Amino acid sequence: MNVAVIGAGAWGTAFALQLAANGHKVILWVYEPELVRSLRDTRENTYYLPGFRLPEGIEFTDDLRAAVESSYDIVIATPSFALRPTLRKVPLSFTGRRMLVLTKGLERKTLLRMTQVIEDVTGTSISCAVLSGPSFATEVAGRHFTSVVIAASVKELAQYFQKISHSDRFRVYTSQDVVGVELGGSLKNVMAIGAGIIQGLGLGYNALAAYITRALAEIKRLGKKLGAHETTFMGLSGMGDLILTCTGPLSRNRMFGVELAGGRAPREVIASQKSVVEGFYTIEAAYRFSKSLRVDMPVTEELYRIVYGGKDVRTSFDDIIRRDTKEEDA
């Protein structure tokens, strides 16, 4: 069976490897023409996921229309900021397809989740599922055991993508809480930046554990306002992904925070990165979202002021710990 994967970053490439290992033929759409040539010559994604040979069951193309029209099963793995312009190139080609969204984030201008962006661009209700959970691309590609969750409002769609991607090394659960799974996957990238700052400042494991706990409380608070299920945030796409991204050495968002704690300017760090730091782009949307919905999210607000307002990281930490005392919320 053919599956088209749109986006050849680390995660898109790793997921293509997982599908190929399950016996599916994959068409991997690549944004960079020079990377297509390299992939065809070397069968290795030296840009974003070096060290893994891509089997013959994976083909490469920079023709988006051809990739989309090659299959009824489409996996979206673009960066969040690139999703809308990518869809706009061939919006009608996506109609009638089954879609699985790997992209995590909130659109900065519209505050839409990624499934909402897809519906907005195509102008129609498309069958969309979303995948999230603690899953570093390098470990998935290396066949390390991983567990994720796939959510879709239509249960059968989640089960369909579960069937084609699940394996002994890649365990897939299902859910119908699309809002909760998308929010957990998006906001953990924001919170991981703060975890990196704490680690970069050498504030210790007590502070880090407290921070992760309060970060989860913020995510749950926003999710509840938007109608997500609270239990979702205690699962793989919530607590699981948050713990991994806040503590794992492979986390780009955590390392971004470490760099900020070391005194580097946010845009200087972003400009030096080959891979996307999704949290950088999601912070603004999350901050505006919290203000528009009147949801108290002090960690998100401080991170926004650091990244977009130039606030000193040590001053920001001092302001957080000096907040008025209160009861612990769930």
Kindly report the CATH number that applies to the domain delimited by 185-321: 1.10.1040.10
> What pLDDT, on a 0 to 100 scale, did the predictor assign at position 323?
82
> What pLDDT, on a 0 to 100 scale, did the predictor assign at position 264?
93
How is domain 2-176 classified at the CATH fold level? Answer: Rossmann fold (3.40.50)
Catalytic residue among 109, 155, 188, 220: 188
**pLDDT tens, residue by residue, 215-257:** 999 999 999 999 999 999 999 999 999 999 999 999 999 999 9
Task: With H, G, I as helix, E, B as strand and everything else as coil, classify residue 133.
Answer: coil
CA distance 36 to 45: 9
CA distance 57 to 250: 27
Q: Which one, of 226, 213, 196, lies nearest residue 329 by Cα?
A: 213
> What pLDDT, on a 0 to 100 scale, did the predictor assign at position 294?
95
Separation in Å, CA 239 to CA 116, 149, 215, 248, 290 = 23, 12, 10, 14, 20
- Asked whether 302 and 319 are in contact (CB, 8 A), the reply is yes
CA distance 302 to 310: 10
DSSP code string of 52-119: EEPPTTEEEES-HHHHHTT-SEEEE-S-HHHHHHHHHHSGGGGTT-EEEE----B-TTT--BHHHHHH
Phi, psi angles (nearest 5°) of residue 290: -60, -40
**pLDDT tens, residue by residue, 181-216:** 999 999 999 999 999 999 999 999 999 999 999 999
Specify the residue for token string 């209700």. 125
Separation in Å, CA 179 to CA 38, 124, 269, 296, 322 = 38, 19, 31, 19, 33
The domains of the chain are located at 2-176, 185-321
Q: Which one, of 273, 170, 14, 234, lies nearest residue 242 by Cα?
A: 234
Q: For residue 25, indicate whether it is catalytic.
A: no
Phi, psi angles (nearest 5°) of residue 195: -65, -40
Length of the chain (residues): 330
Phi, psi angles (nearest 5°) of residue 111: 65, 15
> What pLDDT, on a 0 to 100 scale, did the predictor assign at position 330?
55
Which residue stretches of the chain have pLDDT < 70?
A: 124-125, 330
CA distance 230 to 51: 39
Task: With H, G, I as helix, E, B as strand and everything else as coil, classify residue 47.
Answer: coil
CA distance 207 to 210: 5
CA distance 248 to 233: 19
